[in-house]
Amino acid sequence: MEHVKRIKREVVYEGTIVDFCQDTMELPDGTLQKWDLVHHRKGAAAVVAVDNDGKLVMVKQYRPALDRETLEIPAGARDSVTEDTKIAALRELEEEAGYKANKCELFFKIKSTVAFCDEFIDVYLATDLVETKQNLDPEEFIDVYHVDIDELVKKVFACEIEDSKTVAAIMAYAYKVKK
Amino acid sequence: MEHVKRIKREVVYEGTIVDFCQDTMELPDGTLQKWDLVHHRKGAAAVVAVDNDGKLVMVKQYRPALDRETLEIPAGARDSVTEDTKIAALRELEEEAGYKANKCELFFKIKSTVAFCDEFIDVYLATDLVETKQNLDPEEFIDVYHVDIDELVKKVFACEIEDSKTVAAIMAYAYKVKK
């Protein structure tokens, strides 16, 4: 397929977790355009954790990007670019929600927002949970909820849950278990 | 809930479609931290368009952020910050895929990546389609496919479709029509 080509990438600002780049793109007719590219340095992992009552383990936290609290599946950036995302998913489940999982497998993968960002999130499905202890970073304030999948589906269609990884995860799990 | 507070936001780089900001956040103990915030100026809309055979209208395009082609639902930014997202969704369906829709209702809403970006995408469900004509921007090169929902679900779980709005849309529609 004919398409634009990247001929230059310039990091114009180094952030804390992402860098802002400007790409110079060449159209097939030779025209040049500047395109934004947000580079996520580490990539991320998330986890659909199903407790022993069949409910999903959800975390509620304040998100400055939205200036309000959101209900999400546990998730976080990898510790390094070489960390296995399964390890990262299990660590976030334990740190944010206070659970270990005896079973954990890849569920699906997402790229957050392909138009201008390269962040990826590998989403795992964890079961056979064992309660441990929440272990939050100093800037994290997280409440844990156990929620029935039917209630979560209602919240998606009522636009009460909007975080993209969480919407994808809820609908994928709801599809899997729908009778 | 106790949480961090934003005490300053500074635009450090103005991009083409998004701006890069650095927020100064204050923790409850008084510690200050710098947090990244990518501000999407216009917000966006997307559309799950179901053709008269029950297949989904999908668009394939090269995405520089991923350096490969991806299969997605039609989507795009609003023309302005006041544009109704339903108008934007219907425009993108016509421009990218060449269809008008006689019926179109809000399906769900997402925020792409709440950890560091305020982009929102309102996702509509469009039916009763009428073929018109694709009308692409000079930098757009898009192929249109009509795909069965069962095949799309397989592609999600095979990690062949990863775009977050598209994964959420496929799984929400698959849930809705699952027998």
For residue A64, pLDDT beyond 90: no
Q: Which residues of A touch B159 (CB under 8 A)?
A: 106, 108-109
* Confidence (pLDDT) at A60: 97
User: Could you tell me the two tokens for B172?
Assistant: 């929400």
What are the backbone dihedrals phi and psi of residue B25, each rounded to the nearest 5 degrees, phi first? -110, 140
Task: State the smallest CA–CA distance between residue A29 and chain B in angstroms.
Answer: 9
Verify whether the Cβ–Cβ distance B138 to A61 is below 8 Å: no
Q: Which residues contact B36 (CB under 8 A, 6 or more apart)?
A: A15, A16, A17, A18, B20, B21, B22, B23, B116
Average pLDDT over every residue of B67-88: 96
CA B119 – CA B38 distance, rounded (Å): 8
If you ran DSSP here, which 8-state letter would residue B163 be given? B
User: Could you tell me the two tokens for B62?
Assistant: 């090269």
CB pairs under 8 A between A and B: 216
CA B79 – CA B42 distance, rounded (Å): 7
**Closest-CA residue in chain A for B62?**
A3
If you ran DSSP here, which 8-state letter would residue A93 be given? I
Which ipTM value was assigned to this complex? 0.96
CA angle A94/A97/A102 to nearest 5° reads 45
B110, B122, B149, B156: best to mutate for the A interface, most A CBs within 10 A: B110
Verify whether the Cβ–Cβ distance B162 to A115 is below 8 Å: no
* Confidence (pLDDT) at B172: 98
Average pLDDT over every residue of B149-171: 98
Q: How confident is the model at residue B92 (pLDDT cuts 50, 70, 90)?
A: very high
Verify whether the Cβ–Cβ distance A38 to B16 is below 8 Å: no
Residues A76-91: pLDDT tens digits? Answer: 999 999 999 999 999 9
* Confidence (pLDDT) at A137: 87
The CA–CA distances, whole Å, from A15 to A6, A83, B19, B23, B165 equal 22, 21, 12, 10, 25
CA A126 – CA A56 distance, rounded (Å): 10
B8, B10, B20: best to mutate for the A interface, most A CBs within 10 A: B20
B19, B111, B124, B154: best to mutate for the A interface, most A CBs within 10 A: B111
For residue A66, pLDDT beyond 90: no
Q: Evaluate whether A163 touches A61 at the Cβ level (below 8 Å).
A: no
Write down the pTM of the prediction. 0.96
Q: Which residues contact B46 (CB under 8 A, 6 or more apart)?
A: B73, B74, B75, B76, B89, B92, B121, B122, B123, B124, B165, B169
For residue A20, pLDDT beyond 80: yes
Average pLDDT over every residue of B55-82: 94
Handedness of CA A79, A51, B161, B107 (dihedral sign): negative
A-contacting residues in B 86-105 (Cβ below 8 Å): none
Verify whether the Cβ–Cβ distance B112 to A117 is below 8 Å: yes
What percentage of chain B has pLDDT greater than the value 70? 99
What are the backbone dihedrals phi and psi of residue A173, each rounded to the nearest 5 degrees, phi first? -70, -40
Average pLDDT over every residue of A142-149: 97
Average pLDDT over every residue of B85-103: 98
For residue A126, pLDDT beyond 90: yes
Q: Which of A64-68, B80-84, B102-106 has the lowest mean pLDDT?
A: A64-68
CA A3 – CA A140 distance, rounded (Å): 42
**Closest-CA residue in chain A for B166?**
A168
Task: State the smallest CA–CA distance between residue B165 and chain A in angstroms.
Answer: 7
Verify whether the Cβ–Cβ distance A16 to B34 is below 8 Å: yes
CA B46 – CA B167 distance, rounded (Å): 12
What percentage of chain A has pLDDT greater than the value 70? 99
* Confidence (pLDDT) at B65: 85
What percentage of chain B has pLDDT greater than the value 90? 91
Per-residue H/E/C for B120-139? EEEEEEEEEEEECCCCCCCC
Task: State the smallest CA–CA distance between residue A37 and chain B in angstroms.
Answer: 7
Q: Which residues of A touch B138 (CB under 8 A)?
A: 27, 29, 31
Write the Ramachandran bin of A99: left for phi over 0, alpha for psi from -120 to 50, otherwise beta.
Answer: beta
For residue A177, pLDDT beyond 80: yes
Q: What is the mean pLDDT of chain B?
A: 95
For residue A113, pLDDT beyond 90: yes
For residue A123, pLDDT beyond 80: yes
Q: Which of A61, A106, A114 sits opposite B65 (nearest CB)?
A: A114
B22: part of which helix (H) or strand (E)?
Answer: strand B18-26
CA A136 – CA A175 distance, rounded (Å): 32
B36, B37, B173: best to mutate for the A interface, most A CBs within 10 A: B36
Average pLDDT over every residue of A28-57: 96
Q: Which of A4, A16, A167 sits opposite B168 (nearest CB)?
A: A167
Q: What is the mean pLDDT of chain A?
A: 95
Edge-to-edge strand ranges of the sheet holding A75-77 = A75-77, A44-49, A120-131, A99-111
* Confidence (pLDDT) at B76: 96
The CA–CA distances, whole Å, from A36 to A25, A118, B125 equal 10, 11, 29
Question: Between A119 and A66, whose confidence is greater?
Answer: A119
Kindly state whether A25 is in contact with chain B, defined as any CB-CB distance less than 8 angstroms: yes
Residues B106-151: pLDDT tens digits? Answer: 999 999 999 999 999 999 999 999 999 999 988 889 999 999 999 9
Furthest C-alpha separation in chain B: 60
Residue written as token pair 């334990």: A94
Average pLDDT over every residue of B18-45: 94
Q: How confident is the model at residue B11 (pLDDT cuts 50, 70, 90)?
A: very high
The separation between CA A133 and the C-alpha centre of its own chain, rounded to angstroms, equals: 22
Kindly state whether B34 is in contact with chain A, defined as any CB-CB distance less than 8 angstroms: yes
Kindly state whether B176 is in contact with chain A, defined as any CB-CB distance less than 8 angstroms: no
